[in-house]
Amino acid sequence: MLSLPSNLNIMGLLEDLQNRSGNTCELCGSTENLQVYEVPPVSTGGMDGSLLGCSICIGQLEDPDTIDSNHWRCLNDSMWSEHDAVKVVAWRMLNRLKSEGWPQDLLDMMYLENETLEWAKATGEGEEESEKIIHRDVNGNILENGDSVVLVKDLKVKGSSMVAKQGTAVRRISLDHENAEYIEGKVDGQQIVIITKYVKKI
């Protein structure tokens, strides 16, 4: 189980990332509206699992319908970052855009260590549609990373006395890349695994 970081920790993390990046978006170099972006699936968070991003980059990462492919030509530079969190996001976005042509050229040049590549692939980016594991809620609606869901029954959390109550909203879920029945999300500050048939997309 992971505890939700306190505001103090988040402020400290923001400061550390600002120092690391020179107070610029680690993806596009913007200096405006910077915030912490925890790279899903969130397991460790902290400096190694996060990057400093601007609202434009983060908005397009979280909502694929808003993607402006020309904005992401910035990855030509940021894909060479020394920080794995930045490289993982660059790899995912290039895969998302590879039908444009130029991203494939950059992907061909990228090199990720095996562990970093596993992390990059953990959200299903880079797979052909036929290979992807599809997560569906109780009504059969397809779930995506970053979606919000609501619990449709009380759920006991393994290894604790906690009960996640029916009607609880879970925001910004992460999908289990290997099992279509599992998603992860935070309930009462705890990162827990939830079975998809017990949630409804909202």
Look up tokens 């894909």; give the residue: 79
Mind listing the pLDDT tens digit for each residue in 179-191? 889 999 988 888 8
Q: Cα(31)–Cα(82) distance, rounded to whole angstroms?
A: 20
Same domain for 137 and 112 = no
Same domain for 116 and 18 = yes
What rounded mean pLDDT belongs to the chain?
87
Same domain for 149 and 105 = no
Domain count, the chain: 2
Same domain for 139 and 114 = no
Same domain for 16 and 66 = yes
Among 68, 100, 121, residue at a domain's last position:
121
Q: Which of 108-112, 150-154, 159-163, 182-186 has the lowest mean pLDDT?
A: 159-163
Same domain for 107 and 160 = no
Same domain for 158 and 95 = no
- Would residue 105 count as lying in a domain? yes
Same domain for 147 and 67 = no
- Alpha carbon distances (Å) from 73 to 15, 57, 63, 86: 27, 12, 18, 15
Same domain for 65 and 145 = no
Give ∠ CA 142-4-118 in degrees, rounded to 5. Answer: 55
Contacts of 83 (CB under 8 A, 6+ apart): 20, 26, 51
Same domain for 79 and 38 = yes
Say which CATH number the domain at 162 has: 2.30.30.40
- Residue 150: pLDDT over 80: yes
Task: Quote the domain boundaries for residue 137.
Answer: 133-201
Mind listing the pLDDT tens digit for each residue in 10-41? 678 999 999 999 999 999 999 999 999 999 88
